[in-house]
Structure 1
Amino acid sequence: MVAEDLRAAVIAALRGVVDPETGRDLVVMGLVYDVAVQDGSAAVTLTTTTRGCPLSEMLRAGAEAAVAAVPGVTRASVALTWDPPWTPDRIEAGAF
C-alpha cells in the first residue's frame, strides 16, 4: 500500500475513536494534529479539548489501538500534545 493510501486508512481508523464527552470522533473534533506514515510505521499526534482532560490516556490508547489495527501498519505510535491548544474552531463544519 502506498503511503498516501495508508495515511488515509489511518485517518479513517481514527474516525472510529469517539470522544465520550462529545459523542464525536477524534477527526471531526479536530483533535488529530498530524498523521505521518513511512515504511509501515504510523505516528499520530493528537490533543484533547482541555489540557487536564481525564480521558486523555483513554483517547490516546484507543487511537493507538485503532491505528495498529490498520492493515499495512507495522508500528503505531500516538503522542499527545497541547501545543497549540485546541479550540472549537478545529471542529469540522456541521459536526453539531
Structure 2
Amino acid sequence: MSPAITETMIYDALRKVIDPELRHDIVELGFIQEIDIVDDYVHLEIQLTTPNCPYAENIVAQIKRAVEGVDGVHRVEVERACMKGS
C-alpha cells in the first residue's frame, strides 16, 4: 500500500520543474495556485507569467511527469488559471 499523498510530497516534486525562460522552479516563482488531493488523484491549478506563455505546454507536461512520479499518484490534472484582471 502506498503512503498517503501529501502537499509536501507534491511541492517537492514540483520544485524539479524549471521555467525555461526564467530559470527558476515553478514553486519559487509562485505558479502553483492550488493543490487538491483525493486518494491517488491530484488536481493542480497553476498560473503562468502570461496567458500566452510560449513554454506553457512544456511546463504543463513537466508538471504532470513530476507529480506522476510521486509514490501513490495515479492521475494528475493541471488546470491553467486565468490571469487576474484578464
TM-score with structure 2 setting the length: 0.87
Give the aligned length: 83
Deviation at 1:81, TM superposition (A): 1.4
Runs of 4+ displaced beyond 6 Å: none
* Secondary structure at the counterpart of residue 19 of structure 1: coil
Bigger helix fraction: 1
Gaps of 5+ in 2: none
Aligned pairs (5 A) from 1:24-63: 24-63=24-63
Gaps of 5+ in 1: 86-96
Corresponding residue for 2:15? 15
* TM-align CA RMSD: 1.4
Cα offsets for 1:35-63 (capped at 9, x unmatched)? 11111111111111011111111111110
Paired with 2:11 and 2:44, the residues of 1 have a C-alpha distance of 9
Corresponding residue for 1:2? 4
Paired with 2:79 and 2:69, the residues of 1 have a C-alpha distance of 17
The answer on whether the counterparts of 1:43 and 1:78 sit within 8 Å (CA) in structure 2 is yes
Deviation at 1:83, TM superposition (A): 4.0
The answer on whether the counterparts of 1:11 and 1:35 sit within 8 Å (CA) in structure 2 is no
- Identical-pair percentage: 29
